[in-house]
Chain A
C-alpha cells in the first residue's frame, strides 16, 4: 500500500522559502567598487511514496536541496579576472562553503585560460546545476546528473586544475572547444590525471550541441566498498547533448556512457549508459514539461523515470516548480544495498516522487 512519507522539514528551509518569496520584491545584484555580486536561492521539497531515495529525498524525507549561493567577480585588468562562488546547503549548520573559485585570463578574443577550482564542464546543465532558476526541473535528470558513488558517475561537482577555451564564429554559429584537466573529487576519494575535452556548437542560443569526453585514474578509499574494484583503475565518460529553445518550445536531450573499474569475466563492474529527453512549452508565464529518462548499469541497478512538471514564473527573478515523477528501479541490488538510486529496496515496483520548489536569482 502506497504511503507518503512524513516530512521532517526543520525551520531553516521553511524560513528560506518564505524569504525567497519576499526577496524578489527587494533584492538585486550589485557592485561594491569593482566587485560585482549576484546570488541565488532555492528551496525544494521532495516526497517519496516509498523507499529512501538518494536522488533528492534524504532519510528525513525532505529538503536536501535547500541552498543559497553568492557569486562575486572582479575584473583586474583588460585580460585578468577573478570569480568565486560560495554556497550554503541544508546541512545541519547551513555553513557557507567555497563552491568554486578561479582566475581567468583572456589571451585574445577567442582564447581564454582558467585555472583554480572550476565547475566540472561535462553535462549541459552541470556548470549551473545549483541554479535551479535556469532549468525547468526541480533538479536535472538524476539518471544522468546524480553524483552518488553508485550512481551514473558521468559528471562531478568541480575539479581543481585548468581549462583552456577556444571560441570562433562562422556566420552566426559559435564553435567552442575546451580542454581541461586536473584532479576531481569523487564521493570516496579523487580522480587523478583528469583530462577532458568538450566541443560545443551554439546556433544563436536557440540550438546548442555539446560533445564531451573525460578520463582519469581513480584514487579511492573503501567507504563505499569499491576500493578493490576501482582503486587505481581508469574512469572514462562520454556525453552528447542538445538543447533546442526556439519560439516557445524547449527540447533537451543528453546521452552518456561511463566505464569504471577493472574487468572481471569480460565485464567491468560499473559500465553504464544513461539518457533522457525532455520537451516543454512556454505559455503565459507557465511552462509544462515532460521528461523520460533511463539509466542502466550493465547487469546492474539502473532505473527508469517518467516525469511531468510545470514551472510558473512568480516574479521577474523567481519561479515556482511542481513536479511528479514515477521511478521504476531495476530489481538488481547495488553492492551497497538498495536498487536504482534508492538506498533501500522499495516495497513497490513503481515509486512516486512529488516535488515542489521555489527558485530565484538576485
Chain B
C-alpha cells in the first residue's frame, strides 16, 4: 500500500512536470485586431473555466476549444489550465445544470481553430506553436 502511494506520487509529479514542459508547445491566439499582446495564465484559466467572460479591459471573449483527444487539448489543459480530465468531467456539469456557464464551444483541430480565430474578433483559441502564422495573434503568457 505504501509503495503504491509512493508510485502514485512520483507518477503525479512526473505528469505535472511533463505537462508544464509541453505547455510551451501550445500557444494562446486571438484575432489580429485584438489590442492585447499578453495575458496572464490566471486570466486564461478563468476564461476557459467559465469564470471570466471579458478580455482584460476589453470586450466579451468567446473561447474556442479543441476535441479532448487532440495533443493541443492535452497540453493546454494539462500545462496551462492545470485541471485533469477527471476533474473537468465533474466541473462542467455543475455549472451547466445550474445555468451558470457553458463550456467553450469545440471548434475543431488546430487548423479549424486558427481559421475561426482569424475570422472572429472576439475569439480566443489555442493551437500548437508550430501551426501558428500571421493570420492570428499569439498572446504572451505572463
Contact = CB atoms under 8 A, between A and B. Distances in A.
A155 B94 CA distance: 18
B62 to A, nearest CB: 9
Contacts of B90: 133-134
A104 B97 contact: no
A102 B99 contact: yes
A38 B97 contact: yes
Contacts of A109: 52-54
B60 A40 contact: no
Interface stretch (A14-22, A48-56, A123-131): A123-131
Interface string B7-45: 010001000000000000000000000000000001000
Contacts of B12: 247
Interface residues of B, number: 25
Q: Classify the secondary structure of A's interface with B.
A: strand
Contacts of A108: 54
A328 interface: no
Contact of A85 (B52, B54, B60, B97): B97
Contacts of B42: 172
A133 B52 CA distance: 25
A31 B105 contact: yes
Contacts of A332: none
B111 interface: no
Contact of A317 (B52, B89, B91): B89
A172 B41 CA distance: 11
Contact of A133 (B60, B93, B105): B93
B51 A174 contact: yes
Interface size grouping (class) on chain A:
35 or more
Interface in B46-61: 46, 49, 51-54, 59-60
Q: Which of B53, B54, B93, B99 gathers the greatest number of chain A CB atoms within 10 Å?
A: B99
Given A78-B59, A78-B60, A172-B42, A71 B91 contact: no
Contacts of B49: 205
Interface in A80-127: 83-85, 100, 102, 104, 106, 108-109, 114, 119, 127
A282 interface: yes
B98 A128 contact: yes
Contacts of A84: 99
Contacts of A40: 93, 97
Nearest to A81: B99
A222 interface: no
A189 B97 CA distance: 26
A147 interface: no
A316 interface: yes
A361 interface: yes
A333 interface: no
A360 B96 CA distance: 14
A302 B96 CA distance: 34
A38 to B, nearest CB: 5
A131 B94 CA distance: 8
A131 B93 contact: yes
Interface string A230-251: 0000000000000001011000
Nearest to A127: B98
A85 B93 contact: no
Given A73-B102, A282-B86, A317-B89, A106 B53 contact: yes
A46 B102 CA distance: 33
A298 interface: no
6 contacts: A38-B93, A127-B94, A130-B97, A172-B42, A205-B83, A205-B91
**Shortest 10 CB-CB distances between A and B: which pairs?**
A83-B99, A127-B98, A78-B60, A131-B97, A128-B97, A361-B93, A38-B96, A134-B93, A109-B54, A128-B94
